[in-house]
Amino acid sequence: MSEEATAANQSVFNPFNIVAGVIVLIGIVLTVLRFTGGLGAITNLSNNNPWGIWISFDLLCGVALAAGGYTTSAACYLFGMKKYHSAVRPAILTAFLGYALVVLALHYDVGRPWRLPYPILYQQGTTSVLFEVGLCVFLYLNVLLIEYSPAALEWLGLNTVRKIVVKLTLVLTIFGVILSTMHQSSLGALFLIAPSKVHPLWYSTYLPVFFFISSIFAGLSMVIFESTLSHHYFHDKMDKTHLAESSHVTFGFAKAACWIMAGYFTMKVFDLSMDNDWHYLGTSYGIWYLAELLGFVALPCFLYAVGVRDKNIKLIKWTAFWTVLGIIVNRFNVSLVAFNWQLPSSERYFPHWMEIGITVFLITVFVIVFRFIVRRMPIFYEHPDYKGSH
């Protein structure tokens, strides 16, 4: 509360508000352009390149990086790692806002956003991988909303409702892991239908497995990366337990991420061998593929291991950032770089600045809402009235 007061005393025009305000204003203008002029008005999408960065970043990366929700809650509630408890709420909040944002971003991308419920409620195209993705994302968004709700209910003082929700924790966690397994992998499976368009190095029948496994270490790394940022900006909001458990979470998650990345790397090599794609490694695509595999998988995997062995928290934090970046590289590679690789470069896609503008706008909205919530609701600390009642 005291912070509120000082904030009020300060000028509304602090740097954060100014930057965020400008981005939001631009975003609103772009939104108007999108819904008056169509996709053609603000994107470089074409008939050969129907999906751009709104799918590559907002959907594929957004969902992968929001995987911290299911990984953290599974570690804490299913695998019995209770020392990670204080990491669950920030991770669930990030996941919930992340998925909400993914769905919001899809409203810009699809032609008639008000029909987004059609595949679920009106006419089900059950043979489509996208149907599976849509159904799971819809259900999981609801699961995340309920999983997140105790924080809001404590803030609002609605104790009876909160009690019921908390009782559902286990069922929701299991359901969340099931739905996540399904749609994280299906995002990769989206591209299985177009073997003639995706570069053979990235095209693989293992694509769904790769997307699922990489989402796990993406989620773990995102939790580490985000907690680094949160410690910087919301340190005053964290209680003793959160601060005490924080380094425990960092080391534990780094260890897990390292080991899972080792498995992922192995699978990637097996895949090269299964499809006999070795001869592509000498091409320019091959060099870029190796850059991804060695630079963004093998390297961070090794650095995590060093960080864990040396108890080097700084190294782990940088590695987490690098891993997150690597996930973005991977999703872009599959959906943009490798996609339509046979077309001449003049027919390839490069995002329009206004497309990037919408994405930046949506990320800003995410940060604003996240900031609003953690400043008010018990995310980084336990509500005094509900201490130890989880």
Q: How many residues bind other proteins (CB under 8 A)?
A: 68
Tell me which of 14, 17, 124, 266 binds other proteins, using CB under 8 A: 124
- Minimum CB–partner distance for residue 357 and other proteins (Å): 18
Contact in structure between 150 and 165 (CB atoms under 8 Å): yes
Q: How far is the CB of 259 from other proteins (least distance, A)?
A: 17
- The residue (of 69 and 307) whose beta carbon lies closer to other proteins is 69
Residues 199-238 within binding reach of other proteins (CB under 8 A) = 205, 207-208
Name, in order, each residue with C-beta under 8 angstroms of 187's C-beta and a sequence gap of 6 or more: 59, 60, 63, 64, 133, 211
Going by the DSSP 8-state scheme, the letter that residue 273 receives in this structure is H
Give the three-state DSSP class for 339: strand
Tokens of 235: 């340190």
Residue 26 beta carbon to other proteins: minimum distance, rounded to whole angstroms: 19
For residue 123, the minimal CB distance to other proteins (Å) is 5
Contacts of 220 (CB under 8 A, 6+ apart): 68, 71, 253, 254, 256, 257, 260
Q: Are 280 and 289 in contact (CB under 8 A)?
A: yes
* Binding flags for other proteins, 325-344, as an x/- string (CB under 8 A): --------------x-----
- Contacts of residue 188, defined as CB under 8 A and 6 or more positions apart, other chains included, come to 207, 208, 209, 210, 211, 212, 334
State how far the alpha carbon of 252 is from the alpha carbons of 221, 241, 311, 353, in Å.
Answer: 11, 16, 11, 40
Kindly tell me the burial class for residue 85, based on how many C-beta atoms sit within 10 Å of its own C-beta (0-12, 13-18, 19 or more): buried
Stretch that binds other proteins, among 12-20, 141-149, 171-179, 272-280 (CB under 8 A): 171-179
Please say which residue, 280 or 302, places its beta carbon nearer to other proteins.
280
Does position 276 interact with other proteins (CB under 8 A)? The reply is no
Question: Segment 70-109, which members bind other proteins (CB under 8 A)?
Answer: 74, 77-80, 109
Q: How far is Cα 68 from Cα 75, in angstroms, rounded to an integer?
A: 10
- Please say which residue, 79 or 353, places its beta carbon nearer to other proteins: 79
* Residue 131 touches other proteins, criterion: CB under 8 A: yes
189 binds other proteins (CB under 8 A): yes
Report, in Å, the least distance between residue 191 CB and other proteins.
Answer: 8
Question: Interface residues for other proteins in 27-66 (CB under 8 A)?
Answer: 35-41, 43, 45-48, 50-51
Q: Which of 1, 13, 122, 157 binds other proteins (CB under 8 A)?
A: 122
Q: Which amino acid is located at 193 in the chain? A: I
What is the chain's Cα-based Rg?
21
> Quick one: which of 96, 99, 191, 380 contacts other proteins (CB under 8 A)?
191
**Of the candidates 334, 58, 339, 69, which has an alpha carbon nearest to the alpha carbon of residue 188?**
334
d(CA 4, CA 136): 39
Give the residue with the Cβ less far from other proteins, 16 or 35: 35
* Footprint of other proteins (CB under 8 A): 35-41, 43, 45-48, 50-51, 74, 77-80, 109-113, 115-116, 118-119, 122-132, 134-135, 166-171, 174-175, 177-178, 181-182, 185-186, 189-197, 205, 207-208, 339
